Amino acid sequence: MLFPDYRGRRLRATHNFRRMIRETKLSRDDLILPLFAIEGKSVKKPIESMPGHFQLSCDHIVTMAKDARDAGIPAIILFGVPDKKDPLATRAYASDSIVQKAVRAVKEKVPEITVITDVCLCGYTDHGHCGCVENGIIDNDASLDLLAKTALSHVKAGADMVAPSDMMDGRVAEIRQALDEEGFSHIPIMSYAVKYSSAFYGPFRQAAESAPQFGDRKTYQMDPANSNEAIREATMDIEEGADIIMVKPALSYLDIIYRLKTEIDLPIAAYNVSGEYSIMKAGEMMGWVNARDMIMETLLSIKRAGADLILTYSALDVARELKD
Ligand code: PBG
């Protein structure tokens, strides 16, 4: 197809032509809204590093869940900011802790929305690592039981799906077994299977108060240089029982999303992470960019790369826009 027989501009000429031949469409069905739950009543504490997001007490989490439902969003994912931290993350799996309370509140008041919980220890350990620490080393196998206990406590509180984000080896199998043993074989696991050690998590660590107090996460999160390793990680989690495979972050890893979409046969989720959100919001506050258009273009690119689901802090704005 060569000019002048082919003229690409013919089908770009009108809004309707463009609509008719559009290959990728963003839908409200694709969106998952992350929320941060904190103890207290009527607490709505702005997260400075993430304009438009807040640490929310359970009453406000319920309000946001209603807003999400009304905007047509199918699911929220909950992160907890606990009242206290200790070396073994006991507030991660206590039945009266923050995520468990938030799940119960949402499931009671807004049962129509799907509640996913992030399963990790970093927000609950005093050292801020995603597993327990032995002699300065993050101890993989000793962390598995705590992660499984955490997932189980979320599900007992009413969570519809659990999402382990810790990157310990073997945790999906351990969680699957713990859920099955307690009669929760119907609860799916969305695994943060392909999670890179990324500078784009910075704003989130302020939101979740989960920054590591020593060292970094490079001994468990993936090296951004690697692509084959993503296939190994995803394959391992599939064999252990994962139902959805997540890639995180999204924007710098569109090639990984594309590769997984072609090489594995499970739904793919992509996490449009805090740094991706905050740089656009910051650019808008400076008056340099149009964040709304940038966000739409970004989410479309993530979908075009092959993601079936997108976790994004822009979910509410985008869903409202898609509705109109
Ligand atoms: C916890 C967790 C992190 C994110 C989701 N779950 C942070 C981290 O690994 O430090 C990041 C989400 C974001 O940046 O939006 N392990």
> What atom of ligand 1 comes closest to residue 275's alpha carbon?
14
Does 8 fall in a domain?
Answer: no
Q: Which residues line ligand 1 (CB under 6 A)?
A: 118, 120, 122, 130, 165-166, 201, 204-205, 217, 273-274
Provide the pLDDT for residue 22.
Answer: 97
Letter for the amino acid at 210?
A: S
With respect to residue 306, please indicate whether it lies within any of the assigned structural domains. yes
Residue 280 lies in a domain: yes
Question: How many domains does one find in the chain?
Answer: 1
Give the C-alpha separation, 28 to 322, whole Å.
7
19 in a domain, yes or no? no
Among 118, 165, 219, 271, residue to substitute to test ligand 1 (most atoms within 8 Å of Cβ):
165
**Nearest ligand 1 atom, CA 165:** 16
260: CB partners within 8 A, 6+ apart: 194, 230, 231, 234, 245, 247, 268, 306
144: containing domain: 25-323
Flag whether 82 is in a domain.
Answer: yes
Q: In a structure prediction context, what are the per-residue pLDDT tens digits for the chain, which is 324 residues long?
A: 899 999 999 999 999 999 999 999 999 999 999 999 999 999 999 999 999 999 999 999 999 999 999 999 999 999 999 999 999 999 999 999 999 999 999 999 999 999 999 999 999 999 999 999 999 999 999 999 999 999 999 999 999 999 999 999 999 999 999 999 999 999 999 999 999 999 999 999 999 999 999 999 999 999 999 999 999 999 999 999 999 999 999 999 999 999 999 999 999 999 999 999 999 999 999 999 999 999 999 999 999 999 999 999 999 999 999 987
Residue 153, number of CB atoms within 10 A of its CB = 21
Contacts of 63 (CB under 8 A, 6+ apart): none
Over the range 36-54, which residues count as b (16 or more CB within 10 Å of their CB) and which as e?
Answer: bbbbeeebeeebebbbebb
- pTM for this predicted structure: 0.97
Asked if the structure places residue 279 within a domain, the reply is yes
Identify the CATH number of the domain in which residue 165 sits.
3.20.20.70
Which has the closest alpha carbon to 245: 288, 307, 196?
307
Residue 1 has a pLDDT of 86
> Is residue 251 a part of any domain in this protein?
yes
The reported pLDDT for the residue numbered 217 is: 96
Supply the pLDDT for residue 47.
97
Q: Per the domain annotation, does 10 fall within a domain?
A: no
Ligand 1: which atom is nearest the Cα of residue 167? 16
CA 51 to chain centre: 18
pLDDT of residue 323: 85
CA-closest residue to ligand 1 atom 8: 201
Q: How far is CA 41 from its chain centroid?
A: 25
